[in-house]
Structure 1
Amino acid sequence: MLGGISIWQLLIIAVIVILIFGTKKLRNMGGDLGGAIKNFKSAMNDDGDKKDTDSDPKSLAQDQNNTMNKDADFSEQKDKDQKHS
């Protein structure tokens, strides 16, 4: 192949890398890389789920209603506490 990398060249590079780093270090690096990719994917999915619910008008309206109800309950409780004092 002209200008490309053959299978033999890849094998020679792999052997040199194994000799330099050792199999244990390469195994640890592979595990670390796999864990980083897994965490990245889960973070992307979490952000995607959050954006989907944020852009949903029904979900946004429900969140606003829940917040307003909590504020009203807090105000009522505060008024009751002030009357009893």
Structure 2
Amino acid sequence: MSGRNDEEREFDLKWADGAEHKEPSARARMLAARWKDNPPGPVPFRGEPEYRGPSGRSSWVSTAVVLGCVVAVIVLLGYADFRPY
């Protein structure tokens, strides 16, 4: 019985894929309705990011903090290795 359902399902998929007109998704219809009266402005392909993080620090400060932590861990591990038992 499942073989018959598989054949019917395959027929339905072929029939649906062969349709001349395909209905747009709900999101496409929503955006089309919204943009009909108020079209969006041009957007660059890779625009400058506006979000700079919770504190507004630049990326080099974050990089320095990470590298400082790595150096501190290396120093602590080196100190633990040279400490007499």
Shorter-chain TM-score range: 0.3 to 0.5
Say which structure is richer in helix: 1
| TM-score for both structures, normalised by structure 2 | 0.36
| TM-score for both structures, normalised by structure 1 | 0.36
Higher RCO (C-alpha under 8 Å, 6+ residues apart): 1
